[in-house]
Amino acid sequence: MVTTPRILIIAGSDPSGGAGLQADLKTATRLGCYAGTAVTSLTVQNTKGVQAVEPVSPQLITAQIKAVLSDIGADAIKIGLLPSQDVIKAVFETLTDLAPDLPRVVDPVLVATSGGHLTVQDTRAAMLDYGVGGSILTPNFDEAAALTDILVQSRATMEQAGDRLIRRGADAVIVTGGHSSGDDCLDLLVTGLGAHEIKSKRVPTKNDHGTGCTYSTALACFLAKGHGLADAARRAKLVVLAGLRADPDLGAGRGPLGHHVMDLSALND
């Protein structure tokens, strides 16, 4: 009997270690989950921005997914950077075929926190066509706006964007509020049954590279452990807050979270 919670991470590599697969693996390990991976792209980036992106072929990505699911297996899936339209189509068609019943957390990565485009094409239409249906989406303000054509700036517009994505077939949408202003930070979980607020005080730091990756991976981990969606979303936010507070102040730009030293005791409250 499998007792270790397992997640499959489908995402791009960040050589600076702050975001992408590297942040995902650190997060999953800290949360006691075993993570398999399918690498979608090699990037050249650091805390100052993205310099280059080299996509992996759709065929090689799907082969990685099949290799993991046919052997190790998974209890939840996290999807991050998908750099092209063909990759998006291949990934979601493969998951529909091989893992239709697994919780699927999709972080619709379009632009890095540190600055710069991570996709080699405009992937919004392909994400709407293939990636939204049956997924739990975790967009920030900019990503929610790109996917819905709604200018997301407030709780009301967060809910409007979430509702629009629900109508496109999403199982749930968590619009994260890290790009808002003020001392408070609101995430909004939107489902077909309404909206649920997840609030916190903002952590005063510029070093937030990889927050979206960390959040979505933590969410997948808690779902793999059997937590309900609202509780998993609350816990995932606590993980990000702990990473921000453990700020190691690395790099000359927007630095990474302190995954290696973050205090997770709040998860026991």
CB-based contacts of 172, cutoff 8 Å, min separation 6: 136, 137, 166, 189, 190, 191, 229
102 domain residue, yes or no: yes
In a domain, 1, yes or no: no
Specify the pLDDT at position 116.
66
pTM for this model (two decimals): 0.96
Tell me the C-alpha to C-alpha distance, in Å, between residue 4 and each of 28, 29, 30, 66, 74.
12, 11, 13, 20, 10
CATH number at residue 251: 3.40.1190.20
Is residue 268, in this structure, part of any structural domain at all?
Answer: no
269 belongs to a structural domain: no
Percent of the chain residues past pLDDT 90, beyond the cut: 90
- Cβ atoms 210, 23 nearer than 8 A: yes
* pLDDT at residue number 83: 94
Token reading at 29: 């390990």
Give the chain's domain count.
Answer: 1
Q: Which domain holds residue 35?
A: 6-263
Candidate from 53-62, 102-111, 197-206, 208-217 with smallest mean pLDDT: 102-111
In a domain, 10, yes or no: yes
Residue 152 clears pLDDT 80, i.e. is over it:
yes
